[in-house]
Each structure stands twice: as structure tokens, then as C-alpha cells.
Amino acid sequence: MENIYLFFVIALFVLAISDLVVGVGNDAVNFLNSAIGSKVAPFYVILGIAAAGVLFGATFSSGMMEIARRGVFFPDQFYFNEVMIIFLAVMITDIILLDMFNTFGLPTSTTVSIVFELLGAAVAVSLYKIYFTDIPPEAQDIGLYINATRALGIISGILLSVVIAFTAGSIVQFLTRLLFTFNYEKKLPFFGAIWTGIAVSAIVYFILVKGASGSSFMTDQTIAWIENNTVVILLYSFITVAIISQLLITLFKLNIFRVIVLIGTFSLAMAFAGNDLVNFIGVPIAGYESYMMFVNDPSQTATTMTMESLLAPVRTPTGFLLAAGAIMVLALFFSKKARTVSKTEVNLARQSEGYERFSSSLFARTIVRKALDANKAIMKILPGKVVETIDKRFDQALYKRRKRIRKDESSFDILRASVNMFIASILIAFATSMKLPLSTTYVTFMVAMGTSLSDRAWGRESAVYRITGVMTVIAGWFFTAFTAFSVAFIFAYFISWGGITAAVIAILIAFGFVVRTHYLHKKLVAKKNIEEEKAKDKVDVEMNGEDVMGQCKETIVDTVVSVSKLYNSVLSSFLSEDRKTLKKARKRIIEFNSHTKNLKKDVYFTLRKLEEGSVETGHYYVQIIDYLREIAHCLNFIVDPLLEHIENNHKPCIEEQEKELIQLNENVALLYGKILEVIKTDDFNRVENAIQYQIEILEDLDRMKKMQVKLIKKEKVKTRNSLLFFNLLSETKNLLLHTINMLKSHRDFIISHKVNF
């Protein structure tokens, strides 16, 4: 019997390694994003500093291990076998849940997930114990097993941290920007040293002073000395850092904010390891300790040994913590999913406009309208000079001009990154010192969102999209809680019912899920990279007419080839009632539609970078993109009704219609072949030939409409067939008209360019 639980312990540690990997993949953004977003240093330097912080911070997490032992359930009410089932179900669920969020690039909270997983698994085992085991009536109250008060307190604290983090980030960033402005280099000699002293001293206080009590290697005497000399430590820290900073600024013209961001990266990585390490190894260590107690007491059996021992505080061995830290460091360097999650937060916090990952929503639009109304009301109250002064302090003109000159690709400046770092570090480290399972993800994300709001990064051009993105992430956090509870409940109940066989199946499911999402993530990233490469905005590169012409020609060739293939695929699969192929064609049309939408968005950036002499040719490019967008709409309007017709198993086309559609398909393919030749050879003398052939096809479409009217009168076709057929002919006509117009615009573009240059 002991071998079964030894298997459980081994499985817990194997799962813990996997959990550390997927957990760091999600939580790494918490301490990397400010440094990455501001491009404060080369990527490998940022990773190296973060790795050192993780290793050092891992030894500070001993005190936090208690949450995994007795945070949300009463271990003394469970037997050894039941506790092991709870722990195993929690680890399996955690791997699946975090890996899913990593795959889709959404940051979530490892703290919330572990709390609700423990809660769900404990509830499942409690219910199984109540209804399927022989226990006395007085032990059948689930309140005896679940620490509901503690669980609610943890959840409330985590949710409260969201509000506090956003508010603190907004206020501090507003005051900081008011002091330094976007032209902060000029203010560094006067305020930089003081600011650095405050920031670093705050980090020293909350990381080293408050965090020391949780360390696994500091003695009680050392901790007592630090607590008794807190004021002296802070005073010396402030003076020393301020003097060194002033010397660096004066003598070496160093941008001291870079130092703050790098120190903040170290401290935040340290705080992450100190606070969140429990989320990955707290459960396996608790399981290991439970197993050792079971083995060392031969008088007990797995079904009679109660777990009062888990109520006692324990100091986790430093070796375990350092080993976990080493695994996290390796995951930090090699996790590709961490990069995907990182892009989400950086994209939402960036200072510049551009492509938005999220669309707008009713909630976001309402929030923006109310904010604008509130802003107007405040502007009426404040004196005009105050408003004018604030606007000058937040003027971004010089900042944007310098970015273009320096070819700076950072998402936001180092000043904001420094605020992100030390505010988040303070909040997280304080929670760690109080042994509160604060969500590092919630804090760092909301601080970043608060600072970006105060920094006016959410302008009227982007606010609705950014707010939708933030709300999507927050909704994912609630989804985390619900899913964590539900999945852990299911696994715990399943293992309680099926024993060792069920446990093995559950573990295989977890690893199978990770393997599957690995390939899914690889596919998603590859697709995203292709899209970004196609729609890549050539930042800070002047474009002349030749550049736009070449780009335009390539786009039109790809479009003509794609449209011809898609139209043929749609009609052929519809006539053969091949639902599977038609659905694939629809999927490709949706992707094509998205591509043309991105091209439309890219028009602004393309025109903005045109040389002065090329401006005259720019409007032709706009026309071409407009026609491409209309072509994509036509394909969409063609395929949707056809697919719906097939999905509903309606009667297909009759023989007369089928013959006409086959011929139409061939004619359209031939027309697109003629257009493709014209574009590739730039032989515009053949444009009239293509137009004439288009006219012939349009005449055929009119004839087919008349044929359909005759079929209706003869009652050979019904209403659905007629509506479908007329729609197909109308949208085909629109498709051909827009295609020829695109060809004409391309011709005029080429000719106009040759005339002007």
C-alpha cells in the first residue's frame, strides 16, 4: 500500500517540475514586461538579472508555504489518503489550466488558480467522504472540512489588490510625469538622484526588511536585528543611493532610470519567487511531508491517520527552494509561451497607436463616453492656467520626434517602466511579508494599466480597444477561478472513485494536454508571425512611389490568385455538396477578410511615410486597398448563404442551374487569369480585353437571372433556391466589378507614377 502513495509523491514532484515550467511561462511577464517594453537593456541581460532575482527570492518563500497546507481546508479533518488525493488533483489541474492560458497568450493568476484548485479538490473529497464512506452524522457537515472564512479572505484580498494596484499606479505615474515630463532627461540632474533614492529605498525596505521573516536561511536573531534597525537601514540606503546616483548622472551622464528598471526587475523577480513559488511547489512539499509522517508512523494506516501535523508551521529546506528556483530560471530562458503572454500586456500598455489585438465592446465604449463627460466637467472646474500647465507637462511631441530620430522601438519610456517596477515591487513584497497570497499577475498587470492610463497612452484612438483588452484579461481571471474549482473537483472526485488507475489516467490526461497545446501554440505563433510579416509596418523607413508600387503589385497578384482559387473552391464544393471542403473555404475567406482589414489599417502608416514627391500617387494606393476590401466582402457574402444551405440539408441546385454555374466558374477563372497576366507584365493595352470579357460574363449573369425567373414561373424551384441563386449571381457581379476597378486603379497608379517621376 505504501508503494501507491510513494507513486503519488513521485507524481507530485514530476508534476511540480511541469508546473514550474508552465507557471513561469505565465508569470514571467510580471517582472519582465517593464524592462522589455522600455527596451532598457538587451534581452539576455534582462533575463540574466531576472534569473538572479528568482534564485535569490526562492529562499524567501518558506513562510508562504502554509497556504498550501491549511489555507482553504482543515487538514486535521482528512485522512492521509484523502489529503494525497487533494494534492494530486490540484497539481494536475494547475498544469492544464496554466498551460491553456499560456497557449493563448493571456496572463492569469497562479495564486487564484491554486486557491480555487485546493478549494475544489477539498470540496470533492469532502462530499465523497460524506456520501460514500461510513462516518457519523455529526461529521457530515461540509463546513467542518472547508475553511470558508479563510478562503473568502484570500479571495477578497486578491480582488482588493486589483483596485489598489490600478489606483496606486495611476496616481504615482501622474505625479511622476508631472515632475519629469516626457522630456525627462533635462530633469535628471535635479531630481533623478532623489527619485532613485526613494525608489531603491522602498524596494530595500519591502524586499529585504519585510521579506526577511520568510527567509529559510536567516536566523531569528538576524531578523530581530533588521526589524530593530529599520529606520537606520532605510536612511543609509537613501543617502548612499542618492549620492551614487548623483555622481553617475553628473560624471557619466547615466540615465539613472535604467538602473531603477534593472534593480526593479531583480526585485520584482525576487518578489515573484518569494510570493508565487508556493503556487508551484507548496502542494508537492506538503504531500512529501505528509508521506514522510505516514512512513515514520507504522502504527497508522492511510485510512486512519489524520493530518493534524499539517497545521503546525514548518520551514521548508533551502535545498528544495533553490532547486525550484533553478528550474524556474531554465524555464525563464527557454519558454516560448512566456513571450506570447508578454506581448499581450506590452501591447495594451504601449504609448503609441497601431494595431490593436482586441476589438471594441459596448462596455468599453460606455466607459470612454463617461470618462469624456467627467473630463469635460473637471475641465470646467479647474482654472485654465492649471489645465494648460498640465497639458504642457504631458506634451508628447518631442518624445515622439526623438523616437523617430533614434529609431526607438520601445513600447513606452523608461520613466514609466521605473514606476511600474517599484510600485509593483512594493505592493507584492508587502503582501509577502504579511503572508498574504497576493496575485503578482493582478498587481503587475493593473499597475501597468494604471500607469499607461495616467500617461495618456489610452487616447481616443485606442481607449476602447485597450479597455476591452483589460476587461478580457480580467474576465479570464474570473474564468480561472471557476475553471480551477470545477476541474480540480472533477479530478479529485474521479481519483477518489477510481483509485490508482484513475490517478494514472488523470496524470496522462495532463501530460497529453500539455503536448497537444505545445503543437497548437507552435501553430498559432507561426500563423501570427506570417501575418505580422505580411502586414509589417516598415518603421522609420521612407517609402517612395516605387516602394508602394512594388508592395501594391505583390498584394494584387496574391489577391487575384487567392480569389480565383477561393471562388472555384466555393462553387465546386457547393455543387458537389461537399460540406467539409466548403467549410475550409469559408475559413480561408475569413482569413483573407482579416488580411484585407489589416491592409486597410496599414494605409495610414504607409501614406505617412511617403516621400513628399510621392504623395500624388498615394490616393491610388488607397483606392486599390478599398477595392481589395470590397472583394473580400463579396466572397464572404457568397460563401455564407451557400454553407448555410448545405448545413441545413436543403435541396441542391437542379440540373439547369448546375450547368450554368459550372460554366460561370470556368469563365470567372479565365477572367482572373487574364487579369493576372496584365498585372505581372504591366501590359495595360490588354486591360480593355479583360474589361470586354468581364462584360460578357455580366451579360451571362443577366441571362442566368432571366432563366431563374422562368424556372420560378414553371415551379421547378422553390423560394430558398431562388434567393440563394439570385444572391450568388448578384455578389458574383459585384466581385467582378470590384476586381476590374482594382485593375484600373493599379493601371492609373503605375501610369501616374511614371508621369510624376
In a domain, 537, yes or no: no
pLDDT computed for residue 663 by the predictor: 93
Cell digits of residue 272: 515573484
CA 243 to chain centre: 40
What pLDDT is recorded for position 530? 59
Q: Identify the weakest region by mean pLDDT among 278-292, 515-529, 651-665.
A: 515-529
Instruction: Say if residue 581 is in the same domain as residue 521.
Output: no
What is the mean pLDDT of the segment spanning 594-608? 73
* 301-359: pLDDT as tens digits: 888 787 877 766 555 666 777 788 888 888 777 777 666 777 777 778 888 766 676 77
Burial of 608 (0-12, 13-18, 19+ CB in 10 A): exposed
Which residues neighbour 568 within 8 Å (Cβ) at sequence distance 6 or greater? Answer: 665, 668, 669
Give CA–CA dist 260/245, Å, rounded.
10
Number of domains in the chain: 2
Last residue of a domain, one of 474, 509, 532: 532
- pLDDT tens column, 545-594: 566 667 777 778 888 889 999 999 999 999 988 889 999 999 999 988 88
Whether residue 550 sits in one domain with residue 521: no
**Which residues on adjacent β-strands are paired with residue 279?**
none
Q: Would you tell me the crossing angle of helices 336-349 and 318-334 to the nearest 10 degrees?
A: 70
The phi, psi pair for 186, rounded to 5°, reads: -70, -25
Locate all alpha helices (DSSP H) within 78-219, ordered by sequence. 80-103, 110-132, 148-180, 193-203
Q: Are residues 455 and 598 in the same domain?
A: no
604 is a domain residue = yes
Is 84 part of any domain? yes
Do 199 and 415 form a contact (C-beta atoms < 8 A)?
no
- CA dist 562 and 572 (Å) reads 15
- CATH at residue 669: 1.20.58.220
Does residue 552 sit in the same domain as residue 518? no
Which pTM value belongs to this model? 0.70
Residue 194 reports pLDDT greater than 80? yes
* The three three-digit cell numbers of residue 509, written as one number: 490526461
Q: 310 and 448 share a domain? A: yes
Q: In terms of residue numbers, what domain contains 491? A: 2-532
Euclidean distance between the first and the last CA atom of the chain, given in angstroms as a whole number = 87
**Do 510 and 593 belong together in one domain?**
no
- Domain stops at, among 479, 504, 532: 532
Q: Are residues 109 and 61 in the same domain?
A: yes
Same domain, 591 and 523: no
Domain boundary among 469, 500, 532: 532
Query: Do 639 and 582 touch, CB atoms closer than 8 A?
Result: yes
CB atoms within 10 A of CB 649: 9
Are residue 624 and residue 714 in the same domain, yes or no?
yes
β-partners of residue 569 are none
Asked if residue 216 is part of any domain, the answer here is: yes
Same domain, 171 and 61: yes
Does one domain contain both 428 and 553? no
Do 642 and 694 belong to one domain? Answer: yes
How far apart are alpha carbons 659 and 134 in whole angstroms? Answer: 75
| Distances 368 to 164, 464, 468 between C-alpha atoms, Å | 21, 7, 11
What would the pLDDT profile of 382-406 be if each residue is shown by its tens digit? 888 888 888 888 888 878 787 777 7
Whether residue 629 is contained in a domain is answered as: yes
- Average pLDDT of the chain? 81
Percentage of residues in the chain having pLDDT higher than 70: 84
562 belongs to a structural domain: yes
Residue 537 has pLDDT above 90, yes or no: no
- Residue 329 belongs to some domain of the structure: yes
Least confident of 71-85, 87-101, 329-343: 329-343
269: cell is: 523577480
